[in-house]
Structure 1
């Protein structure tokens, strides 16, 4: 099962995450979390100390890690997938097919849920406008003109009436058949 975990986390990190998101620092984090959890869960499963204690410790560590730097939601999903694979690796009780099936389920869900073709016409941006816009309808019309897309939600994060700026988070979609343009270095 340890070898199966290493294969599964390699597929997760090198087959799914890195080719899609190209963030090298998280490759190390996902591998480290997985192998660390695998090692501790493996040693706790054969000791008198309860596995619950070890998993609780990793829960605390993961919360600290997730709070220490800003991660996008898809990165959090990969983080917990690597964590779950590491926990599943040392399990040997029950049916022999259950652990590989659960690992396969995690990989399948991540493959499909983070597939580039899924909702590719939808996007999210944080924009800084060079005008202070207080009216929601005016803001929506202005954003649709800038983006060339249908605005589903616009949330004003900061409105500066002195400097005439508006910081707004906007969720939008392009017309059917048109996908969102990809800009290097821009998070959507």
Structure 2
């Protein structure tokens, strides 16, 4: 059992490095969450491995990490995507800590989890769609006018918008927007065309 755990440790470290750095950080650039994923994964792996070797009830471990996960998720504002990475980091630690006695199944589960996260969070799957909640210091009641204003501000194609709150006292409104950013070359071309139309050549006498 000790030899299998010693072999499972580098597999776990490699898997969490791929998840936290190669997949998450290179796409989303949040170093604090990358560190949190690695620390959480290594902690889960260590405690689950110790409980396994000492024949301690694993239900206690699951309950402990469930409480820690709830506390962590309530302590900071993170997106649903980052919550997904959070739980996959926990799953990798548990799989590698508890499943070290079944190395083939453990490796296959690692590959499955990493492949699912790589594909599910790829831009080709999401279509480059992003979400943002905007607070505007004006009110537009007409939806198409609001859409046109948001597209100009975000330099993007607005796919869906929903007005969450309108404050007529402060003259503000909160809007939940789903949009697809325009390619940089399209923005540059449009800017070049607009510039070209405003240039006036001197008259030739």
CA distance in 1 between partners of 2:128 and 2:186 (Å): 4
Of 12, 33, 54, which residue of structure 2 is paired with 1:26?
Answer: 33
Report the equivalent of 2:94: 87
Is 1:161 aligned with 2:168? yes
Shift in alpha-carbon separation, 1:150–1:25, aligned structure 2, 3 A: closer
Query: When the two structures are aligned, how many residues end up with a matched partner?
Result: 180
Report the equivalent of 1:108: 115
Shift in alpha-carbon separation, 1:21–1:144, aligned structure 2, 3 A: closer
Is 1:9 aligned with 2:10? no
Contact 1:133–1:159 (Cα < 8 Å) also in 2: no
Which structure shows the bigger proportion of residues in helix conformation?
A: 2
CA distance in 2 between partners of 1:159 and 1:82 (Å): 39
Contact 2:155–2:182 (Cα < 8 Å) also in 1: no
TM-superposed CA distance for 1:59, in Å, is: 0.7
Is 1:133 aligned with 2:144? no
CA distance in 1 between partners of 2:41 and 2:76 (Å): 19
Is 1:41 aligned with 2:48? yes
Q: 5+ residue gaps in structure 1?
A: 181-188
Q: 5+ residue gaps in structure 2?
A: 1-7, 188-205
Shift in alpha-carbon separation, 1:126–1:40, aligned structure 2, 3 A: same
Structure whose CA Rg is larger: 2
Shift in alpha-carbon separation, 1:139–1:65, aligned structure 2, 3 A: same
CA distance in 1 between partners of 2:144 and 2:165 (Å): 17
Paired residue secondary structure (2:123)? coil
TM-superposed CA distance for 1:95, in Å, is: 5.0
TM-score (norm 2): 0.75
Task: Give per-residue Cα distances to partners, 1:65-89, cap 9 Å, x unaligned.
Answer: 0110011122111111111010011
TM-superposed CA distance for 1:61, in Å, is: 0.4
TM-score (norm 1): 0.81
TM-superposed CA distance for 1:144, in Å, is: 4.2
TM-superposed CA distance for 1:135, in Å, is: 4.3
Paired residue secondary structure (1:169)? strand
